[in-house]
A and B are shown apart, each in its own frame.
Chain A
Amino acid sequence: METLEQLRDRLRVRFPGAEISIVTNPGPAAQHSLLVGAPQARDIAFFLRDDPALKLDFCSNVTGVDWPEKEIIETTRTNVPDAAGGPGKIIEQKTRKLLPGCLEVVYHLYSMALKHGPVIVRLRTANRTDGVTLPSFTPVWRAAEFQEREVFDLYGVGFEGHPDLRRILMWDEFKDHPMRKDYVEPDDYEWEPTPHGAVLEKAKKHYPPAAPAVVTGDK
């Protein structure tokens, strides 16, 4: 199979204007992946499936990854030369920078016909709040049907073009997306009446103390 760089170059020629880049994996596994821009992602997926040299007909694994907003502190050091000719002063300047967060969907593609792989394709959403829609790959590989429903359920990624996008593991009335890194479980979650210290505190917070009974009558 061709290298990932060759594949990227071939895709760039075939899909001019599409964002295609390689995400390197620094670990020993060295499974690098292709980061594909959302607008042309489905066309690229069809190409990967049907290209005779690739024939990636088997979509093995679909999963989501949550990358929350991350605050990093950048330190810049500037050397200010001393006017008197002595050693220069080093001024440190710290700037806070907010890296934007996103949700990522990762597809592991193999070829059953040619028995090679994996080609890893990543898609990223614009942000984690309102721009969380990505094109669905279910029309390309049926294998993505349940797995994309799972990513929708647990991460909250909306898949455009999915035939039946519903929650799959959590119940339909459930509101949040539990696999996100900032998910907070409800405070009455699996509360048991056993008065353990921490559980009891949680329960007291959740259920406000009952109002004192109003005494009526002469007594």
Chain B
Amino acid sequence: MSDQFPEPSFGVEHDSSGGSSLVTGHSSLELPGGSHVTAVHDPFHGDLLEVSMGPHHPSTHGVFRMMVTLDGETIVKLKPVFGYLHRNHEKLGENTTYLSSMPYTDRLDYLNSMTNNWAYALAVEKLAGQPVPERAEYLRVILAELTRLLNHTCLAGFLLQDTGASGTPLMYAFREREKILDLFESLSGSRMMCNYQRFGGCRVDATPEWLAAATQLTDGYNEFLDEYEALITGNEILMARTQDVGVLKPDLAVSAGITGPMLRASGVNYDLRKVDGYGIYPRFEFRIPLGDHGDTYDRYMIRVLEMRESIKILRQALRAIPAGPILDPKAKIRGFRPKPGEAYGRIEGPKGEIGFYLISDGSPNPYRYRVRPPSFINLTILEDMCLGQTIADAVIILGSVDIVLGEVDR
């Protein structure tokens, strides 16, 4: 019977002294007795894995994609891909009149429409040599600082959401954000798309009731920050997740044109409110917080400290706001044609330097209309910050860069 049904032969005869072949680097191993085994591929030094994070991923804050190459969990390459929201904002700006672009600047960084408006108005005022009345300057400062509060509050909430603190911190932040948006709505008619600034002033005047409401909000804001910081700032998990994660060195930050809180978290003292002193900022007393390490935790802390400085500016501005016109009576709204020339105007937006570069050829439309988007340029060093970190850290690092895709893609 054994001739008909031969014994099944098992090819490998393990030698107890030969050792396991699993973790040796050899591709094949000759065993005593002439049989071969093929070594299992080393699980600790496996292939690189390419992951497409996004464009539809909740941590990317919009339609943003990162082509990440992973070694295990460590990032060895990261290429940001964007343009999914591209609508050629600049071409649209060149095909309409100067004023028609004003509501469209709201849609750049849709959290901070007031500062976008101001940057654009400032550039056009430079181009046309247009003065701005005193009260309008005060209103602009008040609204810009409220916008800074709003943006940084949102960022603190989103950053915590990115670390995995689902819900609660974000809801705390959004509760306060809603109060600021109510103020914007009662002043300009719209929560987010404010379209408030005009060349040579503002569109509508603030009533005494509005100023009282703004003062009340300002007075209560430190209390909210204290509450939020008591929850978050000293939190052990946040520290473990963010400290020494995504370190940005100051020399690289300067070379890469990083601006705003990200730059100052790396310890570079450059704030356009002090450097350019545009508007009436030289009249206010405030300090520029600077970071020591340039890591994600510093970028979070800088925003909290900047909010406290913004509250100081708001208090001074709300106390000192004078009566008077809000729009220069000589300002031309219709038939606005600046003389041929060019101008680059920039302000310190909540995300960094937002600038507009305009060339006029004397026609009602700008010949060249260029936006200098801060969050687009701040993304330049995303790869440098993420290399060597884990993929979970990439989400937090991106969160601390603070991007809005409406501005990145334009």
Contact = CB atoms under 8 A, between A and B. Distances in A.
Contact of A143 (B128, B268, B380): B380
B343 A31 contact: yes
Nearest to B341: A27
B91 A61 contact: no
A179 B88 contact: yes
A141 B380 CA distance: 11
B346 A28 contact: no
Interface residues of A, number: 34
A106 interface: yes
Interface in A122-157: 141-147, 154
Interface of B: 82-83, 86, 88, 90-91, 126-129, 252, 254-259, 268, 270, 275, 338-344, 346, 353, 355, 357, 359-360, 367-368, 370, 372, 376-377, 379-381, 409-410
A58 B339 contact: no
A191 to B, nearest CB: 16
Given A31-B344, A169-B83, A170-B83, A141 B257 contact: yes
A146 B83 contact: no
Interface in A151-182: 154, 167-171, 178-179
Instruction: Tell me whether chain B's interface is mostly helix, strand or loop, or mixed.
Output: mixed
B370 A57 contact: no
Contacts of A169: 82-83, 86, 409-410
Interface of A: 25-29, 31, 57-61, 63, 65, 106, 108, 112, 115, 118, 120, 141-147, 154, 167-171, 178-179
A58 B257 contact: yes
Nearest to B360: A27
B370 A63 contact: yes
Given A27-B127, A58-B254, 16 more contacts: A26-B340, A27-B339, A28-B128, A31-B342, A57-B255, A61-B344, A63-B357, A63-B372, A108-B344, A112-B268, A142-B255, A142-B257, A146-B376, A171-B83, A178-B91, A179-B88
Contacts of B381: 142
Nearest to B353: A60
Contacts of A170: 83, 86
B69 to A, nearest CB: 15
Nearest to A150: B376
Given A27-B127, A28-B129, A169-B86, A61 B342 contact: no
Contacts of A118: 344
Q: Which of A106, A120, A143 has the most CB of B within 10 A?
A: A143
B91 A27 contact: no
Enumerate the 4 nearest inter-chain pairs by beta-carbon distance, A residue then B residue, closest first: A27-B341, A143-B257, A28-B129, A29-B343
B342 A108 contact: no
A8 to B, nearest CB: 18
Contact of A178 (B88, B126, B355, B359): B88
Q: Which of A60, A115, A178 has the most CB of B within 10 A?
A: A60
Contacts of A25: 341-343
A124 to B, nearest CB: 14
A154 B409 CA distance: 12
23 contacts: A26-B341, A27-B127, A27-B128, A27-B339, A27-B341, A27-B342, A28-B126, A29-B129, A29-B344, A58-B254, A60-B355, A61-B357, A65-B368, A106-B357, A112-B270, A115-B270, A120-B344, A142-B252, A142-B255, A143-B256, A143-B380, A154-B88, A179-B91
Contacts of B409: 169
Contacts of B372: 60-61, 63
Nearest to A168: B83
A169 B379 CA distance: 14
A143 B255 contact: yes
Contacts of B377: 143, 146-147
Contacts of B339: 26-28
Contact of B338 (A27, A171, A179): A27
A26 B275 CA distance: 25
A171 B409 CA distance: 12
